[in-house]
Amino acid sequence: MKILYQGKEAETDAATVAAFLAVQGVKSEEAVVELDGEIVAADSVAATSLCEGAVLNVFRIVAGG
């Protein structure tokens, strides 16, 4: 299926947000996930399905000085 990831078209076979992030090398516990304009709760990422045309943005949490 085709989705929009970080503003760019991406092709994926991942059924869930968590599976897609794993392929991208993103640890969901270290990021804020927005799907179709809504923030996905951290405890819901694994169960949240992706569908054709989804818009997914990921904001990585960075700490330090």
CATH of the domain at 49: 3.10.20.30
Whole-prediction pTM: 0.89
Confidence band of 2 (pLDDT split at 50, 70, 90):
very high
Q: How many CB atoms lie within 10 A of CB 55?
A: 13
Q: Which domain holds residue 33?
A: 2-60
pLDDT tens digits, one per residue of 54-65:
999 999 888 776
Which pLDDT does position 31 carry in this prediction? 93
Residue 65 falls inside a structural domain? no
Residue 16 falls inside a structural domain? yes
Average pLDDT over residues 27-43: 94
Which pLDDT does position 46 carry in this prediction? 94
